Amino acid sequence: MMVRNTATRPAPVVLRIGEVAKLTGLTTRTLRYWEELGLISPSSYRGRGERLYTQPDMARAIRIRDLQELLGFSLAEVRVVLDTEDIDVLDQLRSEYRWGDASPPRRRELVDEAIEANDRLLERLEDTLARIGAFRNERAAKAVRLRELRDELGQ
């Protein structure tokens, strides 16, 4: 006997640009600018061009913010990371797995696809961490040389 997934999909939470700005600590101007650059896109618009964002849209905004603030990435670097991560693919896989009416073989395929996508993310992260580590080592070596120079110049 095959059991079907009869759960209904919850209605997505929709937020206005000001609400997203407040929840993420960003400004509406920043969100609009990122939209102009193609880094983020509202899920829909309401009358008079009011931007509407869903939870995944807000998660993407937080991701961009974190890449900039925590890792010091430029917007060009952020674009590369986002393109590599391809968040939409993971979201689609997750959605089809949870809410789709997939057979067990298809569910296994979905998990395999998610593993591949995650492995690509890990590879990108390892590369990023290696570059950050190399930069840190350069700065540490520079600090040692500067201190040695100071000591050579005398007290």
- pLDDT at position 84 is 64
Residue whose pair of structure tokens reads 């993420």 in the numeric block:
24
Block means of pLDDT (10 residues each) for the chain, 155 residues, are 53 86 95 94 88 91 92 84 66 69 78 80 81 92 95 86
Residue by residue, DSSP assigns the chain as: -PPP--PPPPPPP-EEHHHHHHHHT--HHHHHHHHHHTS---SEEEGGGEEEE-HHHHHHHHHHHHHHHTT---HHHHHHHHHHH-HHHHHHHHHHHHHS---HHHHHHHHHHHHHHHHHHHHHHHHHHHHHHHHHHHHHHHHHHHHHHHHHT--
pLDDT value at residue 154: 85
**Do the beta carbons of residue 7 and residue 50 sit within 8 Å?**
no
* DSSP-assigned beta bridge partners for residue 44: 52
